[in-house]
Structure 1
């Protein structure tokens, strides 16, 4: 993304050099993310300017675009001597720097360099600023996408490591599998797993992954010394990862070990059990240097924690085979439950972890239990576990003392007598309830995403169809007299199509593809303003209470969509209380530690909107499918099944999270979490009178890939006197723009088209005809156009499906603006 931005900016301004700079948090320095031009060798990626240095420092400090015809003689430009010498070798002198700003936060800068003496014109500066606005949005979207992908990769890696840990108790195999997952996570050339000797003088290899054959001998026969190898010794003592991007130049690296085992970059992370290092993983990049990121080191620490569990479990298993005394001492310190059971189904010995896991007070209580009756949720599961006792990782449901069900993973061999008969079982019990819950959340999220994409695509296609149906109906009604035969049927068609457009809006809300117009709102004012309407909506048989928590509850959201959320939740609550009840709507603030884990995307303090009813509640199956589109428990014809799906989509697209609690007969509580913002809430709109949909004599370039929508728009405009140049593809539009000899007053273009977005087309047209106005037509937010929509926020937007009257009004409004 950064490379494309640098290239596009250089070409756009015809400059020798273009650089995308990223502002480094904490230091104030800027780092070159991407460089385009013939002078890349002098200013390569990774080049860092200290805080305040150069024209860039001046632009960021003043938060405005800065230019200079010659930075070497410009007294405003301050450069350290070594930086000045390097830049002077670049053979450029003039410069233009535009800060990259996202939501009033500087994230970097866009720099242009050219020959000495070039003076950038006002038009070029405006163009650079417009491009920078778009680039900032695109970079921020790319950063957010990469962060989401990183969280997904991290979760997948940790799940895979967890599976590796629980799939076997063999130390070598567990370490080999963790080494494999580490290799996949960081993209190293090889990974080795080691354990320390008794004196902690050396690290002995126990497993490896992708160790080259040429180095295998050294890997197996030469333990790694801990003493004298400063980088390893320090990491071992602190139980923290250590790394070196350039081992040849790093004085902490033991040169003898490096000569025996040549590599370019390395990462060493200890495996710490109870605060003491007992083993380690050594990760190496053999041929190229590797730049380490905070995300990588954070993931490595998480893998290290899981590896510590694996190493501890393996040690427990090995020592249990030697003697009962050692087994007991290790068992009591284990993080998982460990027990011996008889073949008849009684606990013989248990550890404290198992006592705590099952919610009892003492070991004695557990020893009195019958496994089949008191522990297994399904008694028949115990017989299955016995049959599969030699298979690792059997998962079943157990009962806690209070009746709560937990999912446990059972590992361990059967106990045999001298004749080989099974006398009992030795088991390690791991509570995987939380892990399975997270995996189910991940599956549900992926399913909702897939359904959302489908729903968004369907809604987009329907919007085109409905535009034609509604528009053609209106044109036909305009030609029919009030009492003319057939008028009632046409009006019915138009009303039905309008109802269908409301359905597509709900689909787009669920799929998070609707176009929002967020502003800073006081949630208390929104709820208070809706109170009377909601009271009429739910009826007099339901008592409505609105409660406002202390302080102001400011959020950044679309007011209309927020009102839709309240309406949908109130309607659901009303339908759940046909014989009366109580509906409570409450606002407040919650901190990160007070929210469910699934709301972690909502960083910092959040405003919470709670909607609580005393209705019939939901069973397990209904709760599981609550947010699915078209799922409804109402009788046929009483609901579309889109109410909660719409709530889910609106809240997610607004950067928030929704969860709920419900039990049959105990009512339902929905909680909406939205990031809290600072600032003043937007003032109410003055309600200026919209212009009447009159015609004109201007020339309009109409670009729409759907032929029926295009024909409708053309006819509507031509009937009102406009001259229309139409095009089915952006490239056709560009050719028409170039051929047309006189003025083109307005460009009306679809935002999403094959080959080129409407935003990109508008930029091309405005480059050639700056005086041309622009109207964008869109049915939904498209990923490919998201960056343009962010950067081109001031371009007027006409939403599909639109009526001829709406099209004419928007055209006149923009032309007269």
Structure 2
């Protein structure tokens, strides 16, 4: 009973799955009278070993008898495993060579000894198996305390599910923190190039990419412009400037986010620009503003084969959405500034035409009258000079109001 209570405390108090399961496996060998206890996880449609522990005083130096690096893609290759999952109850195997004949590496790991497979379920989800074996002493599996093992299996399933929930919560928190940082950057008064550069950096760090960049097609332009880059090789940027990307070639390709972990051999990523650089994995996320695609966010891994998870794609799409809004807001602000400049010019034109120009014209008329009344040559010369200055000012005002076109 004391051991069972200690095992329950391990499940509820630890925050790291593997050390917790290793401790549970050691305790299980003693409580259930087994030579070895192994925990196998069902992950990515395959059964893989997570931990394996011998009873105190027992050990094996034969690495072939270890479950390390073993992977079972089809549970049917070990019928006892498939039955345990299907029937949701322990399955005992006395003759390993017969039951595991089609999976010789698993037969070797079990060393021909009898074993019991207990399914790990949490609700309707299959999490893996708890396997007890007597491969060292060859004692019959009936000597094991399978009633106790069933209770322990429930504790192990709880620990695995707790670790999953903790991991998901941690992932959600990290995602929220990343988006908060990106949103704060978007709200700053920095230049748009610096805002987008910081967003690109956040995207690269959040997903662990070697490099990242944001490319935008400005309205009316045929080509994509590299607006921001993070750790992109200089030769890559130089090639882009020498051979710009044609937006019409990329836009249909970016109807949705796309990724590959094998750029050189994936026909969907057979663009000539990608052939010039030895990248291994690539993620492309469209930038959309007001129901219109304006560019894309790219994350690259030069040597790593990187599998992109759905939640990572979701995070990158959120960052791309923030970047698209920032870019569109900057464009609208620039348009508004141009409109404001145009309005101010019109206002100044009106002032110059309706006030100063009229005043100068009236001045010229008065100067004509003064010239007719001037008695001395010296006075007429001075008045002619003033009149000429007035005409020059009027001509300059006309040039401002109606600029000459080339």
Report TM bin, short chain. Answer: 0.5 to 0.7
In the alignment, the residues of structure 1 paired with residue 94 and residue 241 of structure 2 have an alpha-carbon distance, to the nearest angstrom, of 62
Tell me: CA distance 1:150–1:326, structure 2 relative to 1, closer, same or farther (3 Å).
Answer: farther
What is the deviation of 1:282?
A: 0.5
Contact 2:65–2:110 (Cα < 8 Å) also in 1: no
In the alignment, the residues of structure 2 paired with residue 280 and residue 311 of structure 1 have an alpha-carbon distance, to the nearest angstrom, of 12
Residues 1:180 and 2:195 are matched in the alignment: no
- TM-score normalised by L of structure 2: 0.63
Contact 1:194–1:280 (Cα < 8 Å) also in 2: yes
Residues 1:123 and 2:144 are matched in the alignment: yes
Contact 2:96–2:110 (Cα < 8 Å) also in 1: no
Tell me: CA distance 1:173–1:98, structure 2 relative to 1, closer, same or farther (3 Å).
Answer: same
What is the number of residues matched between the two proteins? 310
- 3-state SS of 2:129 partner: strand
Residues 1:101 and 2:125 are matched in the alignment: no
The corresponding residue for 1:60 is: 85
Structure 2 gaps of 5+ residues are 1-15, 54-62, 344-406
- 3-state SS of 1:322 partner: helix
In the alignment, the residues of structure 2 paired with residue 87 and residue 225 of structure 1 have an alpha-carbon distance, to the nearest angstrom, of 54
Cα deviations by residue, 1:439-460 (Å, 9 ceiling, x for unpaired): xxxxxxxxxxxxxxxxxxxxxx
Residues 1:156 and 2:181 are matched in the alignment: no
Contact 2:17–2:163 (Cα < 8 Å) also in 1: no
What is the deviation of 1:96?
A: 3.3
In the alignment, the residues of structure 1 paired with residue 111 and residue 222 of structure 2 have an alpha-carbon distance, to the nearest angstrom, of 56
Q: Within 5 A, what are the aligned runs for 1:42-81?
A: 44=69, 47=71, 49-50=73-74, 54=78, 55-70=80-95, 73-74=98-99
In the alignment, the residues of structure 2 paired with residue 36 and residue 258 of structure 1 have an alpha-carbon distance, to the nearest angstrom, of 44
- Of 274, 279, 293, which aligns to 1:263? 279
In the alignment, the residues of structure 1 paired with residue 216 and residue 245 of structure 2 have an alpha-carbon distance, to the nearest angstrom, of 10
Cα deviations by residue, 1:750-805 (Å, 9 ceiling, x for unpaired): xxxxxxxxxxxxxxxxxxxxxxxxxxxxxxxxxxxxxxxxxxxxxxxxxxxxxxxx
In the alignment, the residues of structure 1 paired with residue 268 and residue 222 of structure 2 have an alpha-carbon distance, to the nearest angstrom, of 17
Tell me: CA distance 1:135–1:111, structure 2 relative to 1, closer, same or farther (3 Å).
Answer: closer
Tell me: CA distance 1:31–1:257, structure 2 relative to 1, closer, same or farther (3 Å).
Answer: farther
Residues 1:251 and 2:267 are matched in the alignment: yes
What is the deviation of 1:256?
A: 4.2
In the alignment, the residues of structure 1 paired with residue 275 and residue 176 of structure 2 have an alpha-carbon distance, to the nearest angstrom, of 37
Q: Which has the higher contact order (CA 8 A, sep 6+)?
A: 2
The corresponding residue for 2:40 is: 20
What is the deviation of 1:63?
A: 0.6
Structure 1 gaps of 5+ residues are 328-817
In the alignment, the residues of structure 2 paired with residue 190 and residue 22 of structure 1 have an alpha-carbon distance, to the nearest angstrom, of 33
- TM-score normalised by L of structure 1: 0.33
In the alignment, the residues of structure 1 paired with residue 167 and residue 342 of structure 2 have an alpha-carbon distance, to the nearest angstrom, of 48
Q: Within 5 A, what are the aligned runs for 1:472-483?
A: none
Tell me: CA distance 1:150–1:65, structure 2 relative to 1, closer, same or farther (3 Å).
Answer: same
Cα deviations by residue, 1:396-417 (Å, 9 ceiling, x for unpaired): xxxxxxxxxxxxxxxxxxxxxx
Tell me: CA distance 1:147–1:42, structure 2 relative to 1, closer, same or farther (3 Å).
Answer: closer
Q: Within 5 A, what are the aligned runs for 1:137-148?
A: 137-148=158-169
Residues 1:193 and 2:209 are matched in the alignment: no
Cα deviations by residue, 1:6-42 (Å, 9 ceiling, x for unpaired): 6446655476783431366xxxx44537355845998
In the alignment, the residues of structure 2 paired with residue 88 and residue 246 of structure 1 have an alpha-carbon distance, to the nearest angstrom, of 35
In the alignment, the residues of structure 2 paired with residue 319 and residue 41 of structure 1 have an alpha-carbon distance, to the nearest angstrom, of 68
- Of 282, 287, 293, which aligns to 2:303? 287
Tell me: CA distance 1:141–1:10, structure 2 relative to 1, closer, same or farther (3 Å).
Answer: closer
Tell me: CA distance 1:133–1:311, structure 2 relative to 1, closer, same or farther (3 Å).
Answer: same
Tell me: CA distance 1:179–1:189, structure 2 relative to 1, closer, same or farther (3 Å).
Answer: same
The corresponding residue for 1:4 is: 19
In the alignment, the residues of structure 2 paired with residue 128 and residue 40 of structure 1 have an alpha-carbon distance, to the nearest angstrom, of 22
The corresponding residue for 1:437 is: none
Q: Within 5 A, what are the aligned runs for 1:589-628?
A: none
In the alignment, the residues of structure 1 paired with residue 289 and residue 97 of structure 2 have an alpha-carbon distance, to the nearest angstrom, of 58
Contact 1:35–1:44 (Cα < 8 Å) also in 2: no
Contact 2:49–2:68 (Cα < 8 Å) also in 1: no
Task: Please identify which structure carries the higher strand content.
Answer: 1
Q: Within 5 A, what are the aligned runs for 1:344-743?
A: none
- 3-state SS of 2:193 partner: helix
In the alignment, the residues of structure 1 paired with residue 283 and residue 319 of structure 2 have an alpha-carbon distance, to the nearest angstrom, of 13
